[in-house]
């Protein structure tokens, strides 16, 4: 319990966002904690404070200003920040994460106010553990780390990419109830090749080009093993690394430490869950699907890998399951005859004639499901969407690239070009679409449906590793939370307002796998779901007297 003995004074208390209650401090607390006179006399409840926050939030003239305002609240009063976001999640989550966080990262050096998280640089090589020990919290449960090279669909943003770990970890708390004190955002600054940033006088990172090769690998290795020393058992989530680094780092560390890559595995899980829901609408089996991906990077290959595992679980052979997944990249269909294919694409380079573009691939392969993970906007053109609609009575079209400006098509386009027959999902939110008097609610295939629950489950069972099987279990758990009423409206994911309950279900499923596979280090509770719910942080003010 906080007392006046363990804070140095009232002003210090007001400047500590983890303890500050602002105008909600009671009369007794104000006397006991040397706050008398430092606050206006009227005492407000948390609910009344949230009303003030929302009024000011709505008065901001654009989304970036709203983002800055919410970050300032998080820096000032953490409890009020999380309470307000949780109670208004559908409106505020797109502001503190996708799509607005993309613009915030692009301008991060210009809107920077206060430090949050840790910046590790190539200049710290050899003393990473010492830098980690500068973090004030001695127990860390989850670390989200980026090197800023592939931020959303925006490319190399260097140290400006810190907005992503900060935003992701806020969602761990908002969506799954992971206590904020357990969350550590880290940016590894190895330089940037973004010339605009290097010329920007307000850029916050190292003014040098990116390091590569052995020097890079040695730094990443030092970070990973320093975490094991300083924060043993902490889950490391790799976020927004380049395709080349993302795949090989996951392979290198997945079976050595507790880690996962959300761009590869989280995206795969939420997409598979959406496909399961879509198949409930079309009344079809997964093994009968042919999936065509626009984009052959981390997300596309990660989704394909998980779909193959799911098809195998339904009795299909591995080779036949792979043949159901096809990739299109900037050079056309990924086929065996192409030269110099990147390693991660080889598993889906099938024997087939070279097809030069997505429309030709649709017409040739006749897919039942079209998934966009390319980061290239408006690549699902009207002829392409109409072609998929001609092949399928209810075409499944997922335009998953983030932020909204990078989406392969909009919800309105998908519905209008298929006369309302499309089953649509996107990575960033789109508003409901009314067509010929009928309203369609687009699904948001946001990774926030999966990674927070995975993290909660991993922390609470103390798993040694995060496995692909856990993401398969998360996908099935998420799909099972979609109701028939959701499906009738065309929505293939649960409402965001239910995401904390959904995350608890996913956490229980993930922990269940850990216990079954002997990976858990914490004694199994009698009821996993109830235990996960009991461990969720609720942002309510505590009494300090």
Classify the C-alpha dihedral 46-75-150-124 as positive or negative: negative
pLDDT of residue 93: 96
pLDDT above 90: residue 5: no
Could you list the residue range(s) of the whole structural domain that residue 436 is in? Answer: 265-448
pLDDT above 90: residue 465: yes
pLDDT tens digits for range 192-211:
999 999 999 999 999 999 99
Is there a domain that residue 487 lies in? no
pLDDT of residue 6: 53
- The rounded distance, in Å, linking the Cα atoms of 244 and 420 is 39
The alpha carbon of residue 328 and the mean position of all alpha carbons in its chain are separated, in whole angstroms, by: 24
What CATH number has the domain bearing residue 73?
1.20.1370.30
Is there a domain that residue 340 lies in? yes
Is there a domain that residue 80 lies in? yes
pLDDT of residue 216: 98
Q: Of 199, 234, 257, which one is at a domain's C-terminal end?
A: 257
**Cis peptide bond N-terminal to 403, omega within 30:** yes
What count of residues does the chain have? Answer: 545
3-state secondary structure of 286: helix
Q: Kindly state whether residues 127 and 32 are assigned to the same domain.
A: no
pLDDT band of residue 1 (cuts 50, 70, 90) is: very low
pLDDT tens digits for range 397-452:
999 998 889 999 999 999 999 999 999 999 988 999 999 999 999 999 999 999 99
> Of all helices (H) and strands (E), which one includes residue 116?
none
Q: Kindly state whether residues 226 and 289 are assigned to the same domain.
A: no
- The rounded distance, in Å, linking the Cα atoms of 401 and 271 is 12
Q: Kindly state whether residues 83 and 204 are assigned to the same domain.
A: no
Six-digit token string for 425: 């999902």
- Residue 492 contacts residue 482 (beta carbons within 8 Å): yes
Q: Kindly state whether residues 72 and 122 are assigned to the same domain.
A: no
Burial status of residue 380 (CB atoms within 10 A of its CB: 0-12, 13-18, 19 or more)? buried
Active site residue 449: no
Six-digit token string for 375: 């980061």
3-state secondary structure of 507: helix
pLDDT of residue 490: 83
Is there a domain that residue 400 lies in? yes
Catalytic residue chosen out of the listed positions 67, 82, 97, 531: 97
- Residue 296 contacts residue 328 (beta carbons within 8 Å): yes
pLDDT tens digits for range 325-382:
999 999 999 999 999 899 999 999 999 999 999 999 999 999 999 999 999 999 999 9
What CATH number has the domain bearing residue 280?
3.40.50.720
Of 430 and 2, the structure prediction assigns the larger pLDDT to: 430
Q: Kindly state whether residues 121 and 84 are assigned to the same domain.
A: no
Nearest to 493 by CA among 269, 279, 284, 274: 274
- The rounded distance, in Å, linking the Cα atoms of 418 and 413 is 8
pLDDT tens digits for range 147-166:
999 999 899 999 999 999 99
Is there a domain that residue 281 lies in? yes
pLDDT band of residue 254 (cuts 50, 70, 90) is: very high
Q: Kindly state whether residues 87 and 145 are assigned to the same domain.
A: no
Backbone angles phi, psi at 119, to 5 degrees: -105, 115
pLDDT band of residue 9 (cuts 50, 70, 90) is: low
Is there a domain that residue 538 lies in? no
pLDDT above 50: residue 213: yes
- Residue 272 contacts residue 307 (beta carbons within 8 Å): yes
- Residue 409 contacts residue 397 (beta carbons within 8 Å): yes
Q: Kindly state whether residues 152 and 296 are assigned to the same domain.
A: no
What CATH number has the domain bearing residue 130?
3.40.50.10380
Q: Of 389, 422, 448, which one is at a domain's C-terminal end?
A: 448
Is there a domain that residue 283 lies in? yes
Q: Of 391, 424, 448, which one is at a domain's C-terminal end?
A: 448
Nearest to 105 by CA among 172, 156, 69: 156
Backbone angles phi, psi at 237, to 5 degrees: -105, 115
Whole-number mean pLDDT of the chain? 95
pLDDT above 80: residue 2: no
Active site residue 97: yes
Total domains in the chain come to 3
In the DSSP assignment, the letter for residue 543 is P
Is there a domain that residue 485 lies in? no
3-state secondary structure of 137: coil
**Cis peptide bond N-terminal to 264, omega within 30:** no
> Of all helices (H) and strands (E), which one includes residue 425?
strand 423-426
Backbone angles phi, psi at 39, to 5 degrees: -130, 155
Q: Kindly state whether residues 71 and 138 are assigned to the same domain.
A: no
- Residue % of the chain over a pLDDT of 70: 98
Nearest to 369 by CA among 415, 440, 323, 424: 424
Catalytic residue chosen out of the listed positions 21, 66, 103, 168: 168
Q: Kindly state whether residues 299 and 355 are assigned to the same domain.
A: yes
- Residue 376 contacts residue 406 (beta carbons within 8 Å): yes
Q: Kindly state whether residues 372 and 429 are assigned to the same domain.
A: yes
Close Cβ partners of 312 (under 8 Å, ≥ 6 residues apart): 318, 321
Q: Kindly state whether residues 229 and 290 are assigned to the same domain.
A: no
Mean pLDDT on 162-177: 98
Q: Within 10 Å of residue 409's Cβ, how many Cβ atoms?
A: 24
Q: Kindly state whether residues 12 and 149 are assigned to the same domain.
A: no
């Amino acid at each position: 319990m906080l007392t006046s003995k363990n804070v140095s004074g009232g002003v210090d208390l007001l400047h500590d966002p983890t303890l500050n209650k602002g105008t909600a401090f009671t009369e007794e607390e104000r006397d006991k904690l040397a706050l008398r006179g430092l606050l206006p006399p009227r005492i407000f409840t948390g609910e009344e404070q949230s009303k003030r926050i929302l009024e000011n939030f709505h008065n901001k003239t654009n989304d970036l200003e709203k983002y800055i305002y919410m970050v300032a609240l998080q820096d000032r009063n953490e409890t009020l920040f999380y309470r307000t976001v949780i109670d208004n999640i559908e409106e505020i989550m797109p502001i503190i994460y996708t799509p607005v966080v993309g613009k915030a990262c692009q301008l991060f050096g210009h809107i920077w106010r206060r430090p949050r998280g840790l910046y590790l640089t190539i200049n710290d090589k050899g003393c990473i553990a010492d830098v980690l020990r500068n973090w004030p919290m001695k127990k860390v449960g989850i670390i989200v780390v980026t090197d800023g090279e592939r931020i959303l669909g925006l490319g190399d943003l260097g140290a400006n990419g810190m907005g992503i770990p900060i935003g992701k970890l806020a969602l761990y708390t908002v969506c799954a109830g992971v206590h904020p004190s357990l969350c550590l955002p880290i940016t590894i600054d190895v330089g940037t090749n973004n010339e605009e940033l290097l010329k920007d006088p307000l850029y916050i990172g190292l003014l040098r080009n990116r390091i590569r090769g052995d020097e890079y690998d040695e730094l990443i290795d030092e970070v990973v093993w320093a975490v094991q020393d300083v924060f043993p058992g902490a889950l490391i989530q790799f976020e927004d690394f380049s395709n080349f680094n993302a795949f090989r780092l996951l392979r290198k560390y997945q079976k050595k430490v507790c880690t996962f890559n959300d761009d590869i595995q989280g995206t795969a899980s939420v997409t598979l869950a959406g496909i399961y829901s879509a198949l409930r609408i079309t009344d079809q089996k997964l093994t009968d699907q042919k999936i065509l991906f626009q984009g052959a990077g981390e997300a596309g290959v990660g989704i394909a890998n998980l779909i193959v595992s799911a098809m195998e679980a339904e009795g299909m052979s591995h080779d036949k399951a792979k043949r159901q997944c096809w990739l299109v990249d900037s050079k056309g269909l990924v086929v065996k005859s192409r030269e110099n294919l990147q390693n991660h694409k080889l598993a889906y380079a099938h024997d087939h004639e070279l097809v030069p573009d997505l429309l030709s691939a649709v017409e040739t392969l006749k897919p039942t499901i079209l998934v966009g993970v390319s980061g290239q906007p408006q690549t699902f053109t009207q002829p392409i969407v109409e072609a998929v609609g001609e092949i399928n009575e209810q075409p499944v079209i997922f335009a998953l690239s983030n932020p909204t400006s990078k989406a392969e098509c909009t919800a309105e386009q998908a519905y209008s070009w298929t006369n309302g027959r499309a089953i649509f999902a996107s990575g960033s939110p789109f508003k409901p679409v009314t067509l010929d008097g009928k309203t369609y609610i687009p699904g948001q295939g946001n990774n926030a449906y999966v990674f927070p629950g995975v993290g909660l489950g991993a922390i609470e069972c103390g798993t040694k590793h995060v496995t692909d099987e856990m993401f398969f279990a998360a996908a099935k758990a998420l799909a099972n939370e979609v109701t028939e009423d959701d499906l009738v409206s065309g929505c293939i994911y649960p409402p965001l307002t239910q995401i904390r309950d959904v995350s608890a279900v996913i956490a229980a499923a993930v922990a269940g796998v850990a216990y079954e596979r002997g990976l858990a280090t914490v004694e199994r509770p009698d009821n996993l779901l109830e235990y996960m719910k009991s461990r969720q942080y609720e942002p309510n003010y505590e009494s300090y007297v």
